[in-house]
Copies of this chain bind each other. A is one copy, B any other.
């Protein structure tokens, strides 16, 4: 008698067919063997005879069996006899990349620096009803007018133009649509740039402490991370290592997690150092949109006369993280490599959301949202500062850089700089 176990997924006849298929593949039922009489199998499994008949028909349709009129159903003779399964391989690290993935710490902050204790969930999206409905309308219009074919790998030209206009107006970064590659956020920017710029073992300077997910992308790619400390003025440029460095990753607008805004002097010194070393700077303009004083410090990209800066931005913070769209502004010599890497990575970003975002930026709805968000963030910031000064003045030293969507407080005994 044939022992079959049903897996309980979906229709009964499909379960019976799968169980028979397993029996054939595992060699329980040999090539050329006759399948049990349908009545017998139905009784054994406690199913109707029709269920078994349908299962046999499925096996025949899949060519695993064939029916000979009057004499029953037989396992296809040409099926190679099944071999004993190899001892279930323990699926060891599949590649050096996978091995490095497995060594990454689960915690966002590495040891060696004081861990932040007051993590008042930063970067929560400010999606108010006007933004939600503007986005809904923009999506619906984009789905109406959409071209349904693959979008270009560099992104829709109209979106790249809207990004240029935004960058020139609000971030002081002047570039053309051809300098921009649309990506699905900062993370993809970093991971594409790692591929295009770095070989295994290359050195990458990162901020200490820094934004773990970007750092881990470099690490997984096989780069050697060189952490350089930050203080209230951002990366300590004078602490850069003497040896070869291929790339420096910084977030000068509002460093994560320290909140530091890199001073102009540091920016110029960093650019000078990169030009002398001939290494690349990846400027992650993280949380650079919102400032609460009058001082606008120019982006590294806007100060860069040696074309060493690759500027990276995202809509995760200024709109919402569920939208996976960002951009890279890169020197002309890198552009083709970056777009080719994007094409091989995932062809292109989704075209309907690209079209919707273009419409949001062109219609003024994006600017109106930025103004509302700025008012709301000021209000939240004032409330937080007032509460902290009223209740925690003795216990907490606040590092206030007057920028961005988070701030850092230090408990007594922990050094904040």
Contacts and interface: CB of A to CB of B under 8 A. Distances in A.
Contact of A265 (B18, B79, B148, B333): B79
A319 B297 CA distance: 46
A346 to B, nearest CB: 4
A265 B198 contact: no
A344 B169 CA distance: 31
Contacts of A346: 183-185, 187-188, 191, 324, 346
Contact of A104 (B136, B143, B144, B340): B340
A136 B147 contact: no
A148 B125 CA distance: 7
A9 interface: yes
Interface of A: 7, 9-10, 14, 18, 21-22, 25-26, 61-64, 76, 78-80, 82-83, 85-86, 88-91, 94-98, 101-102, 104, 124-125, 127, 132, 135-136, 139-140, 143-144, 146-151, 168-169, 172, 174, 183-185, 187-188, 191, 195-199, 202, 213, 216-217, 220, 264-265, 268-269, 272, 275-276, 278, 280, 294-298, 302-303, 305-307, 316, 320-325, 331, 333-334, 337, 340-341, 343-353
B275 A61 contact: no
Nearest to A273: B80
A77 B275 CA distance: 21
Contacts of A268: 25, 79-80
A98 B196 contact: yes
A148 B85 contact: no
Q: Which of A21, A268, A269, A322 has the most CB of B within 10 A?
A: A322
Contact of A352 (B26, B90, B322): B322
A177 to B, nearest CB: 12
17 contacts: A18-B302, A61-B296, A63-B264, A86-B306, A89-B333, A94-B198, A98-B337, A136-B144, A139-B143, A139-B352, A140-B140, A148-B320, A149-B320, A217-B344, A322-B351, A324-B348, A353-B353
Contact of A149 (B85, B125, B169): B125
Nearest to A104: B340
Most chain B CB atoms below 10 A, which of A168, A324, A341, A348? A324
A161 to B, nearest CB: 12
A135 B352 CA distance: 11
A82 B344 CA distance: 39
Q: Which 3 A-B pairs have the closest CB atoms?
A: A91-B333, A322-B351, A148-B320
A94 B296 contact: no
Nearest to A89: B278
